[in-house]
Amino acid sequence: MTCADAPRIPYRTLVPVDAELEQVLAAIGPRLRSLRRDRGMTLEALSTATGISVSGLSRLESGRRRPTLELLIPLARAHRVALDQLIAAPATGDPRVHLAPLRHRRNRSVLVPLTQYPGRLQVFKQVIAPTPRRLVTHAGHEWLFVLAGELLLVLGERELTLRPGEVAEFDTAEPHWFGPADDHPVEILHIFGPRGDRARVRAHPAGSGADRTDP
C-alpha cells in the first residue's frame, strides 16, 4: 500500500458552532468596550484592575480574541456588573426578567415597567425629559423617589422640588403634574396603586421616630 492509498486521519474534527452562540460571542466585545468607555476607564487602568494585558483587552473588545470565563469573570468584577450583563443570557419565560423600555417619541421620556401585577401596585423606573405642564386627576395613589436630577411636583396650587434621595406620595384625585425642575431629564422610581394603596413605612433610621407607623 502506498502513502497515497493510506487513509487520511484529520488533524482535528471540525464541529459546527451554533449560529446563535456565535452571535452572542460576537456581541461581547462591543459590549465590553461600551461598558469601559461609559465608566471612563482606559485600557491601561482596566488591565491593572483585571490582570489582563492591554493587548489582550484590545483584542477582546475588537472581537479578535474569543471571550472565555477566565477573561469575563475578572472583567465583570472590575466593572461591578453581573456576568450575564456581559454575556447577554438568552431569554427566560418570565417577562419581568427582561425589562422592555417604553419610549415616548414626542417628549423623549423613557418608562421601564418593573412589575406586571394587573390591578395591584405597579412599579416603574422613569427618565423624564422636559415637557409642558398639564395637570391631571385620576383614581389611585402615587409614590415618587428621585434617583438623579431634580423633580418638580405640582399638586394643585403647591409646587415642590425634590432632589436625589427625596420622596413624595400623594392622592392622584388631586390635580397633579411632575417632571424635570430644569432643562435636564430627571430619573425616578414611580409606584402607583390603582386602588389607593399606600406605601407604609415600618422602619425608620435611629432617632427619627422609630415607633411611628404613618406613611
* Per-residue pLDDT tens digits for 72-105: 888 988 887 777 778 765 444 444 445 556 666 5
Tell me how far CA of residue 188 lies from CA of 129, 161, 164, in angstroms. Answer: 11, 13, 9
In a domain, 14, yes or no: no
* CATH number assigned to the domain comprising residue 112: 2.60.120.10
**Residue for grid cell 419581568:** 96
CA dihedral 27, 31, 34, 38 (to 10 degrees): 160
| Count of the separate structural domains present in the chain | 2
- Express each pLDDT in 133-184 by its tens digit: 999 998 888 999 999 999 999 999 999 999 999 999 999 999 999 999 998 8
Specify if 209 maps to a domain: no
Query: For helices 19-38 and 54-62, what crossing angle results, to 10°?
Result: 130
User: Domain holding 44: CATH number?
Assistant: 1.10.260.40
Q: How far apart are CA 50 and CA 57, in angstroms?
A: 10
Same-domain pairing of 83 and 161: no
| Domain closes at, from 60, 87, 114 | 87
Residue range of the domain that includes 141 = 95-193
Q: What pTM, to 2 d.p., does this model score?
A: 0.50
The H or E element spanning position 146 is: strand 141-148
Angle subtended at Cα 99 by Cα 96 and Cα 103, rounded to the nearest 5 degrees? 135
